[in-house]
Amino acid sequence: MKKISEIINENGYPQLFINGEIQDGLAYITYLTENNRYIDFAKAGYRLFSVPVFFGSNHLNEYSGLNVFKKGIFDKDEPDFSIFDEDIKQILDACPDAYIFPRVNVSISREWELRNPDELCDPYPDGTLSRTTFASDKWAEEVKRELGVFIAHVQESEYGSHIVGYQVAGGNTEEWLPFDSKKGTSGKRAEEKFAEYVQEKGINASESTFFRFYSELVADRIIEFSSLIKHLTDRRLVVGTFYGYTLSCPYRSYGHHVLLKILKSEDVDFICSPVCYSKNRAVGRGHPYMTALTSIKHHGKLYFSENDTRTHLSRAVNDMEWYNKPIWFGPDIETSCDIIKMHAARAFINGHAAWWFDMWGGWFADDTYMALLKDIRKLFEKNSSLPIRSVAQTAVFVDEESYALISDTSVTHNVCYDIREALGKMSAPYDIYLSADAQSVIDRYKAVISLVPIETELSMRVKELAEQNNCAFIEITNNNCGITPCELRSFLQSAGVWVYCARNAVIYANDRFVFLHTAEDGEYTLNVKNAKKLVDVLTGKPFIQGQYLKKGKSFIFELCNSVI
């Protein structure tokens, strides 16, 4: 049967195709569908939408106590699809030719958990029952049963032809994080599964072995559920997941450290993660990736960035302390637009997809935002069929397996987390990989930056490969992870790497576009190859070299060869 949706390497990077046509890769989703802005985004030309689906009523965030926003489909003996059907209708009423990929939260209902205490993590400190452990086979079988019922309903519905894929979500905050924070998958079933794991592999049980086992368990569950969805849909639809928070969640108990296993699976087509939340996404700095983006692309998977971009319209969803912290609120309109441009440019220039996550609804409900988001979508559409090529001459490598060797209290996590501040402002683009991919890609680069929270055979191998390929090489360890952008820039210049600006700046670049976000007040000159001028693609104005710019301003420039 002909595929409805698929990921194809086209024009130099993985892209989404639907019914044989390339898509611009921009989507919209809101948790509170009653506050949706589907019409606004449809008028702006968006056709790709996601929508939340909850299998059971339970906490969405176990740490904060926030509940899911809808009744669970499987709360009672007979499934209730009425809320989901109505949500789909709202999208199609606003955009009759919409393509929809539901975000399916497979977390089980609280009633099921109460009936199955042996399938849960260890009790909370106060003695109350906790949540499901990913190690539970009984839970996994129930999830698969519910997936079967849900997908059968979708395929039999009148809107079935509009469903172009599924995002399988679960765990804390839907991101396959453990429900028992910073402990990993505890509980009776986890103990049993771990005992089987060490016996099958003929290895000794240890803390590091357990956490390696745990990451594999999480990945295996994702692949198991994705494989079922592929089977139920005759492999005609794309399937994806949150996973691989290699750089933003370095804690070994989070279970996100076998991304390579998922990248090798034929049943997972796309990987998602939010824009990193570090430093409340302040301006004047790069907003880094949580994951090894270039490895995802290298393995032919599409990456979706979740752009839950705060604006001046962001509001608290309730009066809970957790949701009234600064991270939930955005700056003024002008600054918000500069951040929107940055989040769009990350995807546009680096060659991946993105969705605007209007979390509580109405975050973009302003003509200024919607005009910008419309222009951004046109930019994506115009260039989706044209080739782009990375011009990064620097590769950053991280050994995800090393995390199992590091306790959650170790300060060495700073190596992979905090270094991104300097990387983001060193004024040169970089590609970021899992160290396991070094052998096949390192010869493309002039400089190599290896993130080494703890030395492993793989990190030593990266060093050997850099030497063999005559790459300038630097290891970032706990001793030097406070390196400055200026120091990194000097390292790159000594290696012959093309640096785009002599001062701190956020730079994304490919062979046709350059993005600039100013990291400080001052005069800015951009050094570009093979271009006589730079033109702002959103305003049509040429860039004036040496002009004074305030901190936090964003520009997307096209490289042009005509004389100014």
Q: Is 157 exposed, middle or buried (0-12, 13-18, 19+ CB in 10 A)?
A: middle
453: amino acid identity, one letter: P
The confidence score (pLDDT) of residue 564 equals: 38
The confidence score (pLDDT) of residue 413 equals: 75
Could you give the CA distance from residue 70 to residue 285 in angstroms, rounded to a whole number?
A: 36
Q: Is 368 exposed, middle or buried (0-12, 13-18, 19+ CB in 10 A)?
A: middle
Instruction: Tell me the H-state helices in 14-119.
Output: 38-43, 82-94, 110-115
Tokens found for residue 355: 């969705």
The confidence score (pLDDT) of residue 352 equals: 97
Q: Does residue 183 register a pLDDT over 90? A: no
pLDDT digits (tens, 9 = 90+) for 323-364: 999 999 999 999 999 999 999 999 999 999 999 999 999 999
The confidence score (pLDDT) of residue 136 equals: 96
The confidence score (pLDDT) of residue 181 equals: 65
| Alpha-carbon dihedral sign for residues 327, 330, 335, 339 | positive
The confidence score (pLDDT) of residue 126 equals: 81
Nearest to 267 by CA among 165, 136, 354, 355: 165
pLDDT digits (tens, 9 = 90+) for 305-321: 999 999 999 999 999 99
Could you give the CA distance from residue 219 to residue 165 in angstroms, rounded to a whole number?
A: 19
φ/ψ of 146, rounded to 5, equals: -65, -40
CB 270 within 8 A of CB 353: yes
Residues of the chain with CATH 2.60.40.1180: 505-560
Q: Which residues pair with 535 in a beta bridge?
A: 542, 558
492: amino acid identity, one letter: L
pLDDT digits (tens, 9 = 90+) for 136-177: 999 999 999 999 999 999 999 999 999 999 999 999 999 999
Residues of the chain with CATH 3.20.20.80: 5-383
Residues of the chain with CATH 3.40.50: 394-494
Mean pLDDT of the chain: 95
pLDDT digits (tens, 9 = 90+) for 3-33: 999 999 999 999 999 999 999 999 999 999 9
Could you give the CA distance from residue 341 to residue 345 in angstroms, rounded to a whole number?
A: 6
Q: Does residue 125 register a pLDDT over 90? A: no
pLDDT above 70 covers a percentage of the chain that reads: 99
Q: Does residue 66 register a pLDDT over 50? A: yes
pLDDT digits (tens, 9 = 90+) for 231-274: 999 999 999 999 999 999 888 999 999 999 999 999 999 999 99
Could you give the CA distance from residue 179 to residue 65 in angstroms, rounded to a whole number?
A: 11
Nearest to 233 by CA among 536, 418, 1: 1
Q: Which fold has domain 505-560?
A: Immunoglobulin-like (2.60.40)
Nearest to 337 by CA among 371, 361, 290, 289: 371
Q: Does residue 412 register a pLDDT over 90? A: no
CB 23 within 8 A of CB 32: no
Could you give the CA distance from residue 418 to residue 293 in angstroms, rounded to a whole number?
A: 17
The confidence score (pLDDT) of residue 563 equals: 43
Task: Return the CATH number of 5-383, one of 3.40.50.1360, 3.90.600.10, 3.20.20.80, 3.40.190.10.
Answer: 3.20.20.80
DSSP character at residue 358: -
Task: Return the CATH number of 394-494, one of 3.40.50, 1.20.1050, 1.10.1760, 3.90.320.
Answer: 3.40.50
Could you give the CA distance from residue 272 to residue 26 in angstroms, rounded to a whole number?
A: 13
User: Position of tokens 């005009």?
Assistant: 371
CB 417 within 8 A of CB 288: no
Q: Does residue 199 register a pLDDT over 90? A: yes
The confidence score (pLDDT) of residue 410 equals: 83
The confidence score (pLDDT) of residue 185 equals: 63
pLDDT digits (tens, 9 = 90+) for 283-297: 999 999 999 999 999
The confidence score (pLDDT) of residue 182 equals: 52
CB 549 within 8 A of CB 524: yes
CB 158 within 8 A of CB 96: no
Mean pLDDT of 453-465: 96
Could you give the CA distance from residue 36 to residue 81 in angstroms, rounded to a whole number?
A: 19
Q: Which residue has the higher pLDDT, 271 or 564?
A: 271
- Of the pLDDT bands very low, low, confident and very high (cuts 50, 70, 90), residue 382 is very high
pLDDT above 90 covers a percentage of the chain that reads: 90
Nearest to 457 by CA among 530, 377, 402, 528: 402
Q: Does residue 507 register a pLDDT over 90? A: yes
533: amino acid identity, one letter: K
The confidence score (pLDDT) of residue 301 equals: 98
